[in-house]
Amino acid sequence: MGTEAEKESSAPAKGKVYLKEDLCKGCSFCVVFCPTDVLAMGGRLNYKGYHLPDIVAPEKCNGCDMCGLYCPDFAIFGVRTKRKKGE
């Protein structure tokens, strides 16, 4: 199955992006349609030889799932995370 790509951040995220690397075909729709610029196309390849998106700004993710909505292969999705009261 795919792996979770995540980078450390000092700010708590409001959402989280998950990528199923084995399903991705590198179309870049997720990158283009992400309203908060969380994603960018990277140089990593999956086992099929497709370029994978990188999660470059995980702290900006709001969990809107626009990436998943536009992904034709259901390879990526965003979810809202629970936040502590007062954040």
The per-residue pLDDT for range 73-84, each reduced to its tens digit, is 999 999 999 766
Q: Residue 4 is which amino acid?
A: E
Domain assignment present for residue 3? The answer is no
pTM summary value = 0.77
Query: What pLDDT does residue 57 have?
Result: 96
Model confidence band, residue 31 (pLDDT cutoffs 50, 70, 90)? very high
Domain harbouring 76, CATH code: 3.30.70.20
Domain assignment present for residue 85? The answer is no
Model confidence band, residue 38 (pLDDT cutoffs 50, 70, 90)? very high
Domain assignment present for residue 37? The answer is yes
Domain assignment present for residue 16? The answer is no
What is the spatial distance between Cα 39 and Cα 31, in angstroms, rounded to a whole number?
5
For the chain, count helices (H), then strands (E).
2, 4
Q: Which domain holds residue 65?
A: 23-80
How many separate domains does the chain show? 1
Nearest to 76 by CA among 68, 87, 84: 68
pLDDT score of 8 more than 50? no
Domain assignment present for residue 4? The answer is no
Angle at CA of residue 44, ends 81 and 42, nearest 5°: 70
Nearest to 2 by CA among 19, 14, 17: 19
